[in-house]
Each structure stands twice: as structure tokens, then as C-alpha cells.
Amino acid sequence: YVSPDGKQLYFISDRPKDGAPKEDMDVWVMDQMADGNWGEARNLGAPVNSAASEWYPKLTASGPLYFGSDRPGGHGKTDLYRSTWKNHTFQEPENLGSAINSAADEYEPCIAADESFIIFMASGRPDDRGNGDLYISYRKNGQWLSAEPLDERINGRGLEISPYLSPDNRYFFFSSARRSKDIPPGERPNQAQNGLGDIYQMHVSALPKPN
């Protein structure tokens, strides 16, 4: 994930740290140098990284880092967390709470530039239409409202993943493994909506508004 200012590249990896092998995923970052090249990758370390896995880091324009983690103390399997930037370091991550996290898996946070809403992928919820759906939660007075699944224009019988907002926050992108009604189950021709995953976009104004 490239930071909003284009100067940092965040990614996850189970590569060795300090020469020691790792079985879990950590968040790493690379800085863009003055000559336009990328510097050495460095592990973010604690408190963002833990003995568990960290997933899908997204840095906001105002500084906080959002990511998923299956560290102990969450509401379920994998939860979403937020870590603020202070004194040149990321602070102890805060769990986004039960309005967003559940006993299922919550992954892939996509956060608005002003942190007014978040769209994320979740798998295993009772209202999951496929193998994983996209959900939205709005933030009011510093509190997250209860997350709701996005409607049938976005969530279908297939897997929906990878929510993204364009840099100008005008367009919403996502990937869906939906299948055309004209393609029988078990067949995957070389065309769109064949069940393997396609990329879609819509104007942000078409997203559901908070109740």
C-alpha cells in the first residue's frame, strides 16, 4: 500500500527478521529517497507488529495506520486496529471495537481520508452472502457506528475483497468473484464475471449513507 503522499510503501511479509525465521506476517515499510529510488525495507516492530500476524496496512493522510491482526485480546479471529503516529513512532494499537469487529474475521481496512468511514472485508459473519463480503461503518462524534454489509450491487454470492478509494476520494474500487447468470457453475470461460475475480468501480456518492 502506497501512502497518500506517495513517499512510503507498506507491505506484509514473513521474511526473516534480524536473521531469525518468522512464521507470522509483519508490517514492513520502505521510504522513497530523494533520487526517486526506494530505500531498504524495515520492519515496523512493536507495538504494530506482534507475535501474531498483521495484515493489509493502510496509512491515512492524517497519520494513523489501520491494519488487521489476529493478536490475542480481540473480539474474534482477526480484528481491525488503529495506531496513531506520535513522537516519531506508531503508538499502541487500539482495537476498533465491537461495532466493527466480531467473532468472525475482519480484514482489509479501507479508510476515508478524513476517517469519516471505513470499508472492510469480513468472512464468516452470519450475514455473509458468499465466502467474504464488504462492510461499511461511519464514524460519528469519535465513535464507529455498527457496521453494515454493502448492498447487492457490491456483495454477491462470490468473494468480495480489496476495497480501495481513489486518491481524490471520488471513486470506490473493489474486486468480486461474482459469476454471470449465463455461465453455468463449474465453467470458467475467458470472459468477465467467470468466478475468478474482476475489478469494479463506482462513484463514492453511490455508497450507502449512515442511518
> In this model, does residue 153 exceed pLDDT 80?
yes
Q: Kindly report, residue by residue over 57-66, the tens digit of the pLDDT.
A: 999 988 999 9
On the CB side of 122, how many CA atoms lie within 13 Å of its CA?
27
pLDDT of amino acid 183: 83
Q: Kindly report, residue by residue over 103-141, the tens digit of the pLDDT.
A: 999 999 999 989 999 999 999 999 888 789 999 999 999
Band of residue 26 on the pLDDT scale cut at 50, 70, 90: very high
pLDDT of amino acid 121: 96
pLDDT of amino acid 113: 87
pLDDT of amino acid 37: 95
Q: Is the peptide bond before 47 cis (omega within 30 degrees of 0)?
A: yes
CB environment 65-93: b (16+ within 10 A), e (fewer)? bbbbbbbeebbbbbbbbbbeeeeeebeeb
pTM of this prediction exceeds 0.85: yes
In 3D, which of 166, 176, 173 has the Cα closest to residue 198? 176
Band of residue 38 on the pLDDT scale cut at 50, 70, 90: very high
Report phi then psi at 32, rounded to 5: -80, 130
All three cell numbers of 43: 520492519
The rounded distance, in Å, linking the Cα atoms of 122 and 70 is: 13
Q: Kindly report, residue by residue over 45-101, the tens digit of the pLDDT.
A: 999 999 999 999 999 988 999 999 999 999 989 999 999 999 999 999 999 999 999
Long-range contacts made by residues 86-93, C-beta under 8 angstroms, separation at least 24? 90/44, 90/47, 90/48, 90/65, 91/47, 92/47, 93/47, 93/48, 93/67, 93/69
CA distance readout (Å), 43 to 23, 55, 90, 157: 15, 13, 12, 37
Q: Kindly report, residue by residue over 156-211, the tens digit of the pLDDT.
A: 888 999 999 998 889 999 999 988 888 887 888 888 888 889 999 999 999 988 87
pLDDT of amino acid 136: 97
pLDDT of amino acid 151: 92
